[in-house]
Structure 1
Amino acid sequence: MKLPLGPVCVVAGSLFSTVAFAHVTVAGPTPPHAGASFDADFTVGHGCDGADTYRVKVRIPEGVTGVRPVDSTFGKAEVEKDGAGNVTAVTWTKAAGDVKAADSHYYHFGLRAKLPSRPFTPVFFPTEQTCRTPAGVETTVGWTGTAGEHSHDGDAGTAPAENPAPSLYLLPARLPGWNQYTVEEHVHDLTVFKDALIVWSGAQAYSFNPATQALIEKEPGMQPLKEIHPGTVIWVKY
């Protein structure tokens, strides 16, 4: 590993949010580290065609364990389990008398769980949002899309799902300073490192900070790091 070029600026930003512009999202107060416990905060930004949100059901994907939901002011949490006792879904339902006359509120739903030990992979939480009018008419929207994962076809870019499921991108554990990882997955969106100072691999480097990235591009013999292929060893400084 070549020593980093000059002073490296601290990057402002957060890794903790998920799919941009999704109507149901999940985030947390800490990065979602693979194999660690995580306090997940699901948010619902709006109702359905003017109707208030009445019920939210979050499906728990395989590998997410130790789920303990939090009752909210919206309503108490009810869990579904499989034959082995693993939580497979959590549902929050509002009391019928508390349904708003219109779509006017923003809602939070929380749970704690242990995340799978699969760094550099996404975990999707398919979610059903049911809205209800004052007359009792219900509408359900499924936020279940998982499109947007990497494809080698075409321009090898990503296309967001029409109704994207809330998701977390799992990161490896880290310490302040340099961290060495062998990446076993194809990482095509390096903004997952946007709270890192710099990412280094051989004669390539990346930084979310524009000033640091400009220094990388000016450094003789260095090339911008644009994607990471499976089996690549990287150094990341936090």
Structure 2
Amino acid sequence: MRTALHLCVAAAAAALFTAPAAMAHISVSGPAFAGATHEASFGVGHGCDGADTYRVKVQIPSGVTSVRPMDSAFGKAVLEKDAEGNVTAVVWTKPSVEDVLPADTNYYKLTVRFSVPDTPFRVLHFPTIQTCRTADGVETTAEWVDASGDHGSHGTGGDAPAALPAPALMILPPRAPGWNKYTVNEHVHDLSVFKDALIVWAGKAAYSPNPVTRGLIEAEPDTEVLSEIHPGTEIWVKY
């Protein structure tokens, strides 16, 4: 790690830039920390073609345990389990059809607490089925289940409909103020997971979300700009 750049990072810390999180139509709050308990809120940003949301089913990925949902103003939470008793999904439904709004006007927040797998830098996907209902009783569904990361058009000529992305939650390793050393066992291609770090080093390459620090990295001799992290890479992260 370069001494001059290290000193400049400390000076630039007060200007740390935190980029706003990209909001999917159904979002999940994060990040989560490996081996810890996380309270995830799923945000339902809109209904379906003007119809209000009536039911939301969130599927629980493997490795997520001790699932305990919260009832909400939207409706009570019901657990679905497999033959071994593992929670596979949480379903919230409005108490009755009379509670369905005449139009798509409301934002809903649904919360689940669970134990996070001890798998740092893994992305957890929560495929979600959203059911909407019109004032005259017609139900439609939106399946937010695509975990590919490619949410554009698929198929020949791009004529296929765009896939709906599943809510995705990044698992980060535990951290302490100052320098943290990690070995990354996943391919990390979106370094915005370090949006609250001062700087990230991997060998002679560095990354920072701070535009001032990023400029120093680009200007530093014999230093490369870190754009992705490959499995097996040792990194140093300063928070």
Q: Is the 8 A contact 1:143 1:166 kept in 2?
A: yes
Deviations 1:84-128 (A, max 9, x none): 221111000002111000001000000100111111111000000
Tell me the amino acid that sits aligned with residue 77 of structure 1.
Answer: A
Tell me how far 1:232 sits from its aligned partner: 1.0
Tell me how far 1:176 sits from its aligned partner: 0.5
Q: Percent identity?
A: 60
Matched ranges for 1:1-238 at <5 A: 1-3=1-3, 4-8=5-9, 9-10=12-13, 11-13=16-18, 17=21, 20-28=22-30, 31-94=31-94, 95-148=96-149, 162-238=163-239
Q: Which moved more, 1:161-170 or 1:176-185?
A: 161-170
TM-score by length of 1: 0.89
Please state whether the residue corresponding to 1:6 is helix, strand or coil.
helix
Gaps of 5+ in 2: 151-161
Question: Per the alignment, do residues 26 and 52 of structure 1 end up closer, same or farther by CA in structure 2, a change over 3 Å counting?
Answer: same
Tell me the amino acid that sits aligned with residue 18 of structure 2.
Answer: G
Which structure has more helix as a fraction of its residues?
2
Deviating runs (4+, > 4 A) in structure 1? none
Deviations 1:158-181 (A, max 9, x none): xxx720000101111100000000
Gaps of 5+ in 1: 150-160
Give the total of aligned pairs. 222
Please state whether the residue corresponding to 1:7 is helix, strand or coil.
helix
Question: Per the alignment, do residues 171 and 227 of structure 1 end up closer, same or farther by CA in structure 2, a change over 3 Å counting?
Answer: same
Please state whether the residue corresponding to 2:214 is helix, strand or coil.
helix
Tell me the amino acid that sits aligned with residue 78 of structure 1.
Answer: V
Distance in 1 (alpha carbons) for counterparts of 2:2 and 2:233: 16
Tell me how far 1:221 sits from its aligned partner: 1.4
Tell me the amino acid that sits aligned with residue 70 of structure 1.
Answer: M
Deviations 1:129-173 (A, max 9, x none): 000011111001100011227xxxxxxxxxxx7200001011111
Q: Is the 8 A contact 2:33 2:120 kept in 1?
A: yes
Please state whether the residue corresponding to 1:88 is helix, strand or coil.
strand
Q: Is the 8 A contact 2:26 2:44 kept in 1?
A: yes
Q: Is the 8 A contact 1:22 1:163 kept in 2?
A: no
Tell me how far 1:12 sits from its aligned partner: 3.3
Q: Which moved more, 1:187-196 or 1:106-115?
A: 187-196
Distance in 2 (alpha carbons) for counterparts of 1:80 and 1:14: 36
Tell me how far 1:14 sits from its aligned partner: 6.5
Distance in 2 (alpha carbons) for counterparts of 1:52 and 1:185: 39
Q: Cα RMSD between the aligned structures?
A: 1.6
